[in-house]
């Protein structure tokens, strides 16, 4: 699809997916961040970022957009993806927030014992080639969170 969009023979599109259980590693993924993967397969990708888990209960969105038709600005593209997630969450009365220097969207945990704790609800890992975007967003709706124990997700505990 990427090459067809780049050649102008296919329209831009967004794939919406739900993967079977898999750990995917981006271009910064370190082998020592694979802790105890068990029977879950691993797959190295060309996207940015480190290790993450994809599986049931998570929605994956792969925008394939031609940024040359917009602004050729990777940071602005990531910013707008985060803004789209935050605005979508708001439609469901969920308050999402950014963290400086860390791509993704977090939500505040409703826990009296940990009132300042936030949890990552959406991860971003993109690749842009010839100004065509690939890969994208993973939003956690109701995944098996124990699967994240097999890795150091996004390189941080």
**Nearest-angstrom CA–CA distance, 78 and 32:** 27
**Nearest-angstrom CA–CA distance, 34 and 32:** 5
**Nearest-angstrom CA–CA distance, 143 and 19:** 11
Q: pLDDT tens for residues 72-85?
A: 999 999 999 999 99
Question: In CATH, what number is assigned to the domain containing residue 53?
Answer: 3.30.930.10
pLDDT of residue 101: 85
Count of domains in the chain?
1
Q: pLDDT tens for residues 30-69?
A: 999 999 888 899 999 988 888 999 999 999 999 999 999 9
Per the structure, the complete domain to which residue 16 belongs is given by 2-155
pLDDT of residue 86: 98
Is residue 154 scored above 90 in pLDDT?
A: no
**Nearest-angstrom CA–CA distance, 63 and 126:** 9
Nearest Cα residue to 41 out of 27, 55, 30:
55
Residues marked as catalytic: 154
Nearest Cα residue to 109 out of 99, 101, 98, 121:
121
What does pTM read for this prediction? 0.86
């Amino acid at each position: 699809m990427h090459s067809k969009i780049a050649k102008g023979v296919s329209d831009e599109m967004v794939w919406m997916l739900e993967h079977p259980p898999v750990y995917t590693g981006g271009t910064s993924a370190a082998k020592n961040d694979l802790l105890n993967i068990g029977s879950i397969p691993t797959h190295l990708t060309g996207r940015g970022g480190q290790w993450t888990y994809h599986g049931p209960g998570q929605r994956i969105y792969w925008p394939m957009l031609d940024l040359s038709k917009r602004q050729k600005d990777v940071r602005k593209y990531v910013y707008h993806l985060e803004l789209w997630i935050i605005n979508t969450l708001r439609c469901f009365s969920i308050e999402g927030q950014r963290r400086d220097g860390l791509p993704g969207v977090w939500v505040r945990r409703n826990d009296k014992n940990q009132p300042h704790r936030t949890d990552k609800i959406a991860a971003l890992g993109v690749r842009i080639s010839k100004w065509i975007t690939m890969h994208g967003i993973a939003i956690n709706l109701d995944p098996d969170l124990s699967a994240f124990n097999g890795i150091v997700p996004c390189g941080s505990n």
